[in-house]
Amino acid sequence: MSSHHNLNPTSGEVMHITHLSDNIGALYLSDEFSDITLIVCGQRFNGHKVILAARSQYFRALLFGGLKESVQDEIELHGTTLPAFKELLKYIYTGHLSLTNQREEIILEIFGLAHQYGFIDLEMAISDYLKEILNIKNACLIFDATHLYNLTKLNKVCFEYMDKHASEIINHESFLQLSAVALNELVSRDSFYAPEIDIFLAMQSWVVANPEVDANQVLKQVRLCLIGITELLNIVRPTGLVSPEIILDAISARIQTRDSALIYRGRLLVDENVAHPRYGAQVLQGEMRSFLLDGDTHNYDMDRGYTRHVITDLQDHGILIKLGTQSIINHIKMLLWDRDSRSYSYYIEVSIDQKDWVKIIDHSDYFCRSWQYLFFQPRVALYIRVVGTNNTVNKVFHIVSFEAYYTNHNEKLSKGFIIPSHNVATMDRSACVIEGVSRSRNALLNGETSNYDWDSGYTCHQLGSGSISVQLGQPYIIDSIRLLLWDCDERSYSYYIEVSGNGWNWDRVVDKTSESCRSWQILRFNPRPVVFIRIVGTRNTANEVFHCVHFECPARLENLGALNISNSTENHNFNEIKLMDQQNKRSLSSSSSSLTPPTVSLPIVAAEASTETTNVDVEDNDSTEDSAMAARQH
């Protein structure tokens, strides 16, 4: 059998799809079997009703929907151009359309016809192609089309591109062809960043090129108060487009309004670190400045790899970063020096002119460590200043790495603190166990809830002495906790939990001292900023040691929902809840064991103030390794 028969010998399937496509494509513009004539711009096209109807809902309704056109031999189509219709008709018959050799104007006309006639796949294909060919010359043309055809995704791509190239866009001739609606939407954006006087001059040119449009409709998008007084008087005023009263109001606002209250424009780069030298960022203030923005988050020690400043009561020192240009940011990620157990306090503020500062993060009353993941309302910033207010070891504030972003995050905020929707008591989020006995320091936070026994997989403390304490990386608004108490036999525990932001002032949020609790515990309390969590066992029905296998906060939403917890702020005891079937199958060992716990203490008292700034200072004596002390036997 010859190969052109296209028979798959193993499946017995005959595949002649190519022949079918070629045969139908041969009917394009052919009068053979033609039963309809389409007239476009005076030119006649032979067509076939069944093919047109099969390919398009529009033609199906037109030709077989009982309309008057269904009994006509000729139909005149309006609202299209000849070149675009020819390409679309060819696509209807062949399923093929070449866009690479077409002008943008023709492509957009084809796009309009595809939208009108309901060719959804073709719409999407052209939309994807337009994203790829977007440039300064065609951006305005494509942007206008997104409004005409309500193309949300392509509209967003155009916005991002035009925001990045605002200065080039306003100086290109195609800017004058934008519709008034598209122009207003574009220029009203805070992220459409160019010098305001340049935006005014571009709008002036647009008004001259579009005299039929009321100038006030578009000129109101110009932020006159961002234009210097000299430019207002010498450039804006002579045009006659803005009344003297409005110019005086702009000058008054410029003089009397706080700089931070002005609505500035700024560059918006989504998920890109604008505090990077490639975008022109630089460190203006702080010692050892070269390390802060180099992106190295691994090679640092007591002598190198960080930027620092001396902490003073006047808070007149800080680490100052200047971005390459005014930028919109809502997220900062920075790494505090973390080669020992010390903690820091700090605040962050931003400015445009270095005179009027706005505080966006205030952790001056809280202890923070290692990586900081900070979110805040979007702000336009040129300068960012980080001011350390406390170091639990000495009087020097150290930052290893600093990054600033605009990101489409979904973090909820309350009074500047993140309300987490996921567990933040993890090592990835800089949490650590600072007190408690375990073979592995952070076994409590590693997420393991099945592999534990008599000998390992838990953290403990002796009743009447110490506690199990966890420090989060930064303050979060916490309203729930989930614990797994050791449950390899039928013992029960009593305990209470306290929380704090600084290690000095503690609030008791859970009190189970008079209850018998075992296995999984899901606990609710009034939301509050939390850094430290202290779990204190008061009773164990088997011995004198309190054991905890797993800790998380907040309690994961799926667990709260599964247990049908009410909205009450009272604590709820879920004794004997078994969330993991494998725990029931665990074989219990009768052997006893001793633990060698780490003796890690809470760093709540700062060391004697030191003015030495040549290194990070000697590490704390607290060891994170196992000590020789053994816990009581199970």
- CATH number, position 348: 2.60.120.260
Q: Which of 560, 584, 608 is the last residue of a domain?
A: 584
Q: Are residues 526 and 579 in the same domain?
A: yes
Q: What is the pLDDT of residue 590?
A: 30
Looking at the predicted structure, is the pLDDT value of residue 633 above 60?
A: no
- Show the domain range for 503: 427-584
Q: Are residues 444 and 553 in the same domain?
A: yes
9-13, 77-81, 383-387, 589-593, range with the lowest pLDDT: 589-593
* Overall average pLDDT of the 462-483 stretch: 97
Q: Give residues with Cβ within 8 angstroms of 260, minimum separation 6.
A: 351, 352, 356, 357, 358
In a domain, 531, yes or no: yes
Q: Are residues 320 and 456 in the same domain?
A: no
Give the pLDDT band (50/70/90) at residue 495.
very high
Each residue's pLDDT tens digit, 322-365: 999 999 999 999 999 999 999 999 999 999 999 999 999 999 99
In a domain, 496, yes or no: yes
In a domain, 290, yes or no: yes
Give the Cβ contact number of residue 73 at 10 Å.
Answer: 8
In a domain, 361, yes or no: yes
**Domain count across the chain:** 2
Each residue's pLDDT tens digit, 276-316: 999 999 999 999 999 999 999 999 999 999 999 999 988 88
In a domain, 158, yes or no: no
Strand partners, 478: 528
In a domain, 50, yes or no: no
Q: Are residues 405 and 432 in the same domain?
A: no
3-state percent breakdown (helix, strand, coil) of the chain, nearest 5? 30, 30, 45
Q: What is the pLDDT of residue 10?
A: 65
Give the Cβ contact number of residue 238 at 10 Å.
Answer: 8
Look-up of token digits 């960012």: 384
Q: Give residues with Cβ within 8 angstroms of 171, minimum separation 6.
A: 198, 202
Q: Are residues 405 and 523 in the same domain?
A: no
Q: Are residues 386 and 441 in the same domain?
A: no
Element (H, E) at 89: helix 82-94
Q: Are residues 343 and 445 in the same domain?
A: no
Average pLDDT, the chain: 85
d(CA 55, CA 68): 20
Q: Are residues 576 and 431 in the same domain?
A: yes
> Are residues 485 and 548 in contact, defined by beta-carbon separation less than 8 angstroms?
yes
Give the pLDDT band (50/70/90) at residue 577.
very low
Cα atoms in the Cβ-side hemisphere of radius 13 Å centred on 593: 14
In a domain, 176, yes or no: no
Q: Which of 409, 442, 459 is the last residue of a domain?
A: 409
Q: Are residues 555 and 440 in the same domain?
A: yes
> DSSP string spanning 464-481?
TS--EEEEEEEEEEEEEE
Q: Are residues 393 and 455 in the same domain?
A: no
Q: Are residues 371 and 447 in the same domain?
A: no
Take residue 415 and report the two structure tokens written for it: 């009074």
Q: What is the pLDDT of residue 583?
A: 34
In a domain, 318, yes or no: yes
Query: Phi and psi for 172 in degrees, rounded to 5?
Result: -95, 145
Q: Are residues 442 and 576 in the same domain?
A: yes
